[in-house]
Amino acid sequence: MVRKQFDNACTNFEARLEDFLSGALPAAEHEEVSAHLASCAACSESLQFARMAGELLRKSSQPPVEASPFFARRVMTAIRNERETETSRAGFWRPLESLSVRVAWSASAALVLLLAYGAVSGVPSRPTVAEMRPAEPAALFPDPVSQTVNPEDVLAYAGGASNGK
């Protein structure tokens, strides 16, 4: 922002504005720059921005403010409270964690025992697809038994079904 304002300043005085602020100019040049600043609004504005930038820079380089004597005590208390909160949360889940580990180990042991029993007991293995013979469709779907339907039976059945309403 300060550089932009210097771009608006006159080129003859641009280099001398910083020296003017710091008081490094000889007396004759100081008077010349003061007279120019009185008549040139752009250079005056640039000088104001340079002053503000210098003030901000000085304020930012000041030593930090010392902490109060109770600052360390408050921080340590907050850390202790946070640890207690975390341990209380962990204490709630700890029994569930140990139970889940036990269940996982028990399930693994049962699976190993079942696989070992199946390998040792001689349980026949399932046949592969190549070993299976395709079944005949007649064997899968036998013909239905033919029944003779009498028209009087159909009417009696239909009449009995509607009387049940």
- How far apart, in Å, are the Cα atoms of 137 and each of 127, 129, 140, 142, 143? 21, 18, 5, 8, 11
HSE-CB of 33 using CA atoms within 13 angstroms? 24
The confidence band for 161, taking pLDDT boundaries of 50, 70 and 90, is low
Separation in Å, CA 102 to CA 15, 59, 108: 80, 63, 10
Coil, helix or strand at residue 165: coil
What is the per-residue burial (b if ≥16 Cβ within 10 Å, else e) of 104-113? eeeeeeeeee
- Whether residue 56 is found in the same domain as residue 70: no
Give the angle 142-147-152 at the CA atoms, nearest 5°: 155
pLDDT tens-place string over residues 84-97: 888 777 677 778 88
- pLDDT of 165 > 80? The answer is no
Same domain, yes or no: 8 and 55: yes
- Return the closest-CA partner of residue 49 out of 8, 81, 85: 8
Domain boundary among 43, 60, 77: 60
pLDDT at 101: 93
**Residue 10 within a domain:** yes
Let me know whether 89 and 54 are in one domain: no
Determine the Cα–Cα distance for residues 14 and 18; give it in Å rounded to an integer.
Answer: 8
Residue 78 included in any domain: yes
pLDDT recorded at residue 6:
44
Could you tell me if 51 and 17 lie in one domain?
A: yes
Entry pTM: 0.33
In a domain, residue 25? The reply is yes
Residues spanned by the domain of 87: 66-100
The residue out of 12, 34, 60 marking a domain boundary is 60
DSSP 26: -
Which single residue is written with the structure tokens 């008077």? Answer: 31
Print the SS3 string covering 72-104: HHHHHHHHHHHHHHHHHHHHHHHHHHHHHHHHH
Q: Are residues 70 and 85 in the same domain?
A: yes
